[in-house]
Amino acid sequence: MNQLKGERFWPQVGYALVTHSPEGRVGAEVKVTWCSSPQHLLEPPSPLPTYWSSVFPATADAAMFAVRSAAASGPVFAGCRPWLRSGGQQLLSLAAFHGSAQRAKAKVAVILSGSGVYDGTEIHEASAILVHLSREGAEVKMYAPDISQMHVIDHTKGQPTENEKRNVLVESARIARGKVTDLSKLNSKDYDAVIFPGGFGVAKNLSTFAVDGKDCKVNKDVERILSQFHKEGKPIGLCCISPILAAKVIQGTEVTVGHEQEEEGKWPYCGTAEAIKALGAKHCVKEVTEAHVDTKNKVVTTPAFMCETALHHIFDGIGLMVRNVLKLTKK
C-alpha cells in the first residue's frame, strides 16, 4: 500500500453476486478492481495499470448499492465507473446482479389511436414510450378501439382523402407489429399503469376534441379506462395532446401540454392549455424535456410534439414521463 501514497486511484465494480440458500439465508459478494485511471477498465487484457483486485462479503443491499452506484453516470461516486467485459460489450454492473428473488415487472397498457400523426397515433411518441418501457423492464400490451377513424389524412399533403375509410384498431396494428387488442377488452385489474401517446388520433378518434374543443366527448372505453385506473390509484401517463383526456375525465387533475404562449411558432398548439383550464383542470407550464407529476391523482404528463423541437428532446421528455409512471407503480 505504501507505493500508493500520494497517488489517486479509482474503484471499478466488477460484479455483485447475491446467493440464496435453501434455508433462506442471503449471501453476497462484491468484486472491486482498483486502477490508476477513471476510464472504464477493460478485462482482459487491461491497458491500464491495475493496483489490486479484491472480493469481499457484503449484504444483499450493499451489493445492489454497489451495482447501482457503478452504473450511475456520476452523481453517486465521482470517479466510480462500471467494469466492462472484454471489448466493452456489456456493463457487468448492470448485467451481473444475480439472485432468486426477481423484482416484479410493472404491467403497462399502451393505448393507440391509429397510425400517423395527423389522423392517428404520433408514431415517434409511441416508439419512444415503448423504448423507455422496454429499457425499464416493463411488460407491455397495446390496445386500440375497434372503430372507424374520423377521416384519413394524406400525410404528404396534410389534407383529408376522399371516400377513404380506415379502422383505428387495424391501423394501430402497424405500430404494434400486429400485436394489438380491442380496447373494449382492457381490464384495469390486469395492469399497474396505462400510457397514452399523442397524435391527432387522440383528438379525432379517442375523443371529439378536434371538432368540439372543451365541449368534447371521450370514447366510452377510453373514459372507462381512465376512470378505473384513477379510482384504483394506478398511474396514468399521457403526452402531447392526450392530457386533454385526463382533463376531461378526471376532475381537477394537473397536466401539462408545455407553454401557454406560441413564442414565434415554437408552441403551435398552446391554445390547448386554455381548453384544459376551461375543463376545470390545472395547467402547469413545463419545458419539452420535463414532465409534470400530479401526485394526488397519479397523472404524469409531458409536452412531446406540442413543441416544435428536435426529436431527442421529445424522446427525453417522454423518458422522464415513463420513469415517473413506473415509479408510481412501486414495482
The answer to whether the CB of 327 falls within 8 A of the CB of 298 is: no
Backbone angles phi, psi at 207, to 5 degrees: -155, 180
Q: Mind giving me the DSSP string for 99-110?
A: -S-PPPPPEEEE
Distance CA 267, CA 302 (A): 13
Residue 80 among the catalytic residues: no
Cell numbers 462484491 correspond to 30
How many Å from the N-terminal Cα to the C-terminal Cα in the chain?
Answer: 44
> C-alpha cell of 57?
462479503
Whole-angstrom Cα distance, residue 103 to residue 323? 16
Query: Three cell numbers at 165?
Result: 375509410
d(CA 207, CA 282): 20
Cα 69 to Cα 54, 77, 82, 93, 330: the distances in Å are: 18, 7, 9, 9, 20
Which of 240, 270, 284, 307 is the catalytic position? 240
- Reference 288, options 175, 137, 128, 172; nearest CA is 128
CB 258 within 8 A of CB 307: yes
- CA–CA distances in Å: residue 10 to residues 31, 222, 245: 13, 53, 50
Sign of the C-alpha dihedral computed for residues 238, 244, 249 and 254 taken in this order: positive
- The catalytic residues are 240
